[in-house]
Amino acid sequence: MMHKILFSVALVSLALASCDKDDNKTKPTITLPTNYISYNYESNAQTQIDLRSRMIAIGTKAKTVRTSGVSVTRQELLDLFQIGFPAAQDVITDYFESALTGSNGYFQILEDASAGGTYVLGTPQGQGGYFEGRVFDENGIEPDEVLDKGMYAAVLYNYATTFMGPNMDYADVDRIIALFGANPSFPNSGSANVSQPDILMANYAARRDKNDGSGIYTQFKNAAIALRAYIIAGSEFTSERDQSITKLKQAWEKACAATVINYCHAVIAKFTITNPTNADIASGLHAYSENVGFIWGWKTIPQQNKIITDAQIDDLLVLLNAPANETPTSYTFVTDAVNQVPKLQTVISRLQSIYGFNSQDIEDFKRNWVADQGR
């Protein structure tokens, strides 16, 4: 009997020793590469590259109205919106799909405005029309910019989040990068000076990045590098993987917010000129309309995938005189500049608070660093 007891104690001691050994096991370390390495980017991300090309085609078609006398129909835009797999309509938020394709959506608004003749700024009348190389609806908003920039978040970012999660593999990182508009070379430039320029949100992120190693574009790149490395490293790095996913999401969203801040500065500059020309007015309304799209596209994206809340989005759209699902009064930024333009500074302040930008960030976001640095 005593032999059995001693044998049992020995087994327990051995098991405890084994557990102690496992518990004290040193977690392996990995050295993150400085560049993003993918051997199969184009094949891994071909579906996403094709989708973004089709989405660009929608914006390109919409912008053909900038040639005087050219109009675009709702059906033409719907046809582009519905082709391919996935089509833009398959991966867009339900909310923004309605804002674009509904009977009173922006596809229809663009059709009406592009067939409306010459736009006369002032009290809303008619259906809008052509003005200084652009087309505006009767309320002074540029429909092609709202629909185009809104899809950056509502289509591309919304789709990208479906590849982010505990079951993602390293090929999914390639897909996310493609939807952002970047590529494995990460040139931090959308100019013709590079062989594979950034497009879409990556292009705007590059403009807001002063290439000092800490900018928003670089934050996205570093998060992508780390994410791929931690996925390959395995289950011991799930925490680091999840942190990298969060950093990736935040860099994308902050790039959009920084671009809105940039355009707010541009609009303020145009609409505070003494006696602005028609060209100044058109340029200001153009930048303003991009802001409406950039902000509005984030509405209803699940909260776990974004920093800003839908309530904050609604507040910003009210400040922009373009409340969600209501008739905008965009023209008043021109006709009542003294009272309306200060709202744009409030938009900047709200975004600074939401995203934790500092004063130097706000100043830096005024510039297009790609152009200024000639890169």
- Per residue in 100-151, pLDDT (tens digit) is 999 999 999 999 999 999 999 888 888 999 999 999 999 999 999 999 999 9
Whether 315 is covered by a domain: the verdict is yes
Give me the domain span that covers residue 191.
33-373
Tally of domains within the chain: 1
Q: What's the pLDDT band for 11 if we cut at 50, 70, 90?
A: very low
Helix (H, G, I), strand (E, B) or coil at 135: strand
Helices 106-114 and 74-82, axial angle in degrees (round to 10): 140
Distance CA 265, CA 287 (A): 10
Q: Is residue 22 classed exposed, middle or buried when 0-12, 13-18 and 19+ CB atoms within 10 A define those classes?
A: exposed
Whether 164 is covered by a domain: the verdict is yes
Whether 59 is covered by a domain: the verdict is yes
- Per residue in 158-189, pLDDT (tens digit) is 999 999 999 999 999 999 999 999 999 999 99
Distance CA 365, CA 230 (A): 32
Kindly tell me if the per-residue pLDDT of 5 is higher than 90: no
Closest CA to 266 of 357, 346, 366, 336: 366
* Ordered DSSP codes for 310-333: HHHHHHHHHHTT--TTS---TTHH
Whether 14 is covered by a domain: the verdict is no
Q: In the prediction, which pLDDT does 271 show?
A: 96
Strands (E), the chain: 129-131, 134-136
CA torsion 179-320-145-207 (nearest 10°) is -50
Closest CA to 300 of 180, 173, 150, 171: 150
Closest CA to 104 of 325, 294, 329, 328: 325
Distances (CA, A) of 369 to 182, 236, 258, 266, 313: 17, 39, 13, 15, 27
- Per residue in 25-60, pLDDT (tens digit) is 688 888 999 999 999 999 999 999 999 999 999 999
Distance CA 347, CA 327 (A): 19
Q: In the prediction, which pLDDT does 3 show?
A: 38
Distance CA 206, CA 258 (A): 11
- Per residue in 282-299, pLDDT (tens digit) is 999 999 999 999 999 999
Positive or negative CA dihedral for 303, 305, 306, 310? negative
Contacts 24+ apart (CB under 8 A), 232-240: 232/170, 233/28, 233/30, 236/27, 236/28, 237/30, 238/166
